[in-house]
Amino acid sequence: MTSLGAHTRQLLRDVVRVVRQVVGAPDYERYAAHMRARHPGQPLLTREAFARDRLTARYDRPGSRCC
């Protein structure tokens, strides 16, 4: 049985993860876990390179703006 403190910490981590997804903040830890599990031979991007890559993917799409 988990303690209330452990449950609260997990809930807080989940809330932070969801808020980051909503605002579009890149999740390096999730990326790193995915790469280690699914692409073990591939090198990981640094946090900075990952953030740059996600920003480029989000904002550098021709025709993606509404105005």
The pLDDT mean for the chain works out to 85
> How far is it, in rounded angstroms, from Cα 4 to Cα 9?
9
Q: Which long-range contacts (CB under 8 A, 24 or more apart) does 48-54 make?
A: 50/26, 51/26, 54/26
d(CA 27, CA 55): 12
pLDDT at 4 over 90: no
User: pLDDT digit string (tens) for 24-49?
Assistant: 677 888 899 999 999 999 999 999 99
Are the C-beta atoms of residues 27 and 45 closer than 8 Å to each other? no
Predicted pLDDT of residue 48: 93
> What band does 54 get if pLDDT is binned at 50, 70 and 90?
confident
The yes-or-no verdict on residue 19 having pLDDT over 60 is yes
